[in-house]
Structure 1
Amino acid sequence: MIFREATIEDIKQIQIVRNSVKENILSNPESVTDEDCIEYITQRGKGWICEIDKNIVGFSIVDLKEKNIWALFIKPEFEKQGIGRKLHKIMLDWYFEQIRTNVWLGTSPNTRAEMFYRKMGWEEIGTHGDGEIKFEMTYENWML
C-alpha cells in the first residue's frame, strides 16, 4: 500500500474510483471533469492517492481557495482497511501546515461518510447544497 501525492497522470484512475462509490454518487458523472481534477490538484490545492499493485484504490483532494475538502473516496472493495483514515490525516496535516483557517466539507446524511467525519472530530455546522450536512474542522481541534 503506497500513499503519495496525486499527479495529472493519476486522473484517469481517480475518476474510476470516484465513479465506483456506492454513497455520495454523482448524479451526473460528467459533472466532475478531468480538467476540474487537474485544477484542484495543481492550482487550488493538492491531492493524494493510495495505490495497491499500481492501481489507485482511494484518493483525497483539498481546496485551499474555498477552504474545503473537495474529495475523499475509496473503492468500495477497499473500505474498512484504514485507507480513508490515512488519506484524511495526510490531507489535513498538509492543509493546516499551509493555513490555519477552518476547513469545511459537505456529505450526504445517513452515510458511512457522515459517521466517519463525526468519528474524526468534525463538527456539524449546518447544511450545504442539496441537503448535505456541512462539517467544519478547526486547526485547534485537529491539533488535539
Structure 2
Amino acid sequence: MRLRQATRDDTAEIWRVRYAVTENRLTPGRIGDAELHAHLEDFGRGWVVELEPAPNPRIAGFAIGDARDGHIWAMFVDPPLHGQGYGRLLHDEMVRWLFAQGHRRLDLGTEPGSRAEAFYRRAGWRPLGNATDAHGDRLFELRLEDWTPHA
C-alpha cells in the first residue's frame, strides 16, 4: 500500500471507485475527465492510496482538495475496503496540504445521514447549522485551530 499524489493516469481508477460508492452517488456524465484533470492539475491536488502499482494500478480510494478556496472536492474509498484506515490517511494528507496552502478554514458537502457524514464528524468537521448546497448535501467546515491529525 502506498499513498501518493494522483495524476491523470489514475483517471480510470478514480472513476471506478467513484461510481462504486453506494452513498453520495454521482450521476454518470455530470462530471467529466476535463473537470477531474483541472482539479488535479490546475485548481488543487489529489491523492490516491495505491494497492497495486503500475502497470496495472489499483487504488483503494482517492481525495481531491481545491487550493483556491480550501474546498474538499472529492474523497471516496472503494466500498469493500471501508474501515481499513484508507479514508483517514487520505483525509489527513489532503487537509494537511490545504492548511499548508494558507487556508484557515476548509469546507465540504456530504449526504446527510451517510457514513461520510459520520466520518467527517469524527475527524473534527462541524456542520454549518442545517445549511445544504444545491445538491442537498449538508455543509461542513473544519478550522485549522480545531484540527488534530489522526495519530
TM-score (norm 2): 0.90
Is 2:143 aligned against 1:138?
Answer: yes
1:13-92 aligned within 5 A: 13-26=13-26, 28-53=27-52, 54-92=57-95
> So what's the TM-score if we normalise by structure 1?
0.94
Matched to 2:4, the amino acid is R
- When the two structures are aligned, how many residues end up with a matched partner? 143
Q: Distance in 1 between matches of 2:112 and 2:94?
A: 22
Secondary structure of 1:29's counterpart equals: coil
1:89-109, CA deviations, whole angstroms, 9 ceiling, x for partnerless residues?
000011111113311000011
The 1-side partners of 2:103 and 2:66 are apart by 13
| 1:128 aligned onto 2:133 | yes
1:107 aligns with 2:110: yes
Following superposition, the deviation at residue 131 of structure 1 comes to: 2.2
Q: Please state whether the residue corresponding to 2:107 is helix, strand or coil.
A: strand
C-alpha deviation, 1:142, in angstroms: 1.6
Contact kept? 2:70, 2:103, Cα under 8 Å: no
Range 126-135 or range 80-89, more displaced: 126-135
Corresponding residue SS for 2:80: helix
Moved beyond 4 Å, runs of 4+: none
Report how far residue 41 of structure 1 moved.
Answer: 0.7
Q: Unaligned 5+ residue runs, structure 1?
A: none
Query: Which sits farther off after the overlay, 129-138 or 79-88?
Result: 129-138
Contact 2:69 2:103 in 1 (8 A): no
User: 1:91 corresponds to which letter in structure 2?
Assistant: M
Percent identical residues:
39
Give the AA of the match of 1:19: Y
What corresponds to 2:122 in structure 1? Answer: 119
Deviation at 1:143, TM superposition (A): 4.9
- Partner letter of residue 49 of structure 1? V
